[in-house]
Amino acid sequence: MKKIKIILLMLIITSVKVFANTDLYIQAEKLYEQKKYDEAILIYESILSSKLTSPKLYYNLGNCYFKTNQIGKAIYNYELAKKVNPKDDDTKVNLKIANTKTIDKIENKENYFIGALKNSILNYFTSTIWAWISVISLISSLFLFFLFFILNSMVLKRVGFFIGIISFIVFVGSMVLGYSSLILKNEINYAIILPHELKVHIEPTSNSDTKFSLHEGTKVSVINQISQWVNIKLENGNEGWVESSNVGLF
């Protein structure tokens, strides 16, 4: 009985938070329409601080930061929205526009195309859709293999067996892609530079020499994290350390 009361209390608290944040969300949208972007940002950030997130919330916050010329934070929130919902066209368009405002133009390495192709394949569907594809293809292959044993026609047996093999291959492939997509979604793989200009250090200490500088909105890969420092890598192969408070991790 005590456990039931605790569960009910948690549900009530969660419901109150959801309704409260819904009101705040509507208020933030009205402020955005009134072009009061700084006020809208404060409300959107407060909703995020309550651990309630959504691709639409990240997208709207990105728009507010873009309108106030905070390009780094705009790109960061667009990237978060894209990570949660990689198929949203509005997010893709706005992210592309925001990226044209960045200062750093880093030359890609030769293997960048392979990495981009990999991410494109993994993000083509969400991990949930990949899971449904694997379930449907597994059921189809099992059903077709069952028909193979009960049918008398050799032609139907061969066709069923062939399609069953293809369905099983689709099952294995979708399982692998779905699992990889889930890992990609939950791992911190990239970061966005947030300050207008940021010095990248040779070592994870503020007293170490500066290796190079980056500007807001630049997207970098995350190699490692030590305490309050992040080891980043550029597409041209350059590496260095920055303080985690100066980057948006995703």
Sheet of 239-243: strands edge to edge?
210-215, 197-201, 239-243, 229-233, 219-226, 190-193, 247-249
pLDDT score at 204: 96
CATH class of residue range 190-249: mainly beta
Span of 10-14, 44-48, 71-75 with lowest mean pLDDT: 10-14
Fold of 2-99: 1.25.40
pLDDT score at 120: 67
How confident is the model over 164-206, as pLDDT tens digits?
899 999 989 888 887 777 776 666 789 999 999 999 999 999 9
Q: Residue 109 in contact with residue 236, Cβ under 8 Å? A: yes
Sequence spans of domains, the chain: 2-99, 121-186, 190-249
Percent of the chain with pLDDT over 70: 83
How confident is the model over 105-153, as pLDDT tens digits?
887 654 555 555 666 676 677 778 888 898 999 999 999 888 888 888 8
Please report the sign of the dihedral spanned by the C-alpha atoms of residue 199, residue 203, residue 208, residue 210. negative
Give CA–CA dist 165/132, Å, rounded.
18
Measured CA distances, 105 to 29, 114, 151, 166 (Å): 34, 20, 63, 44
pTM for the model: 0.70
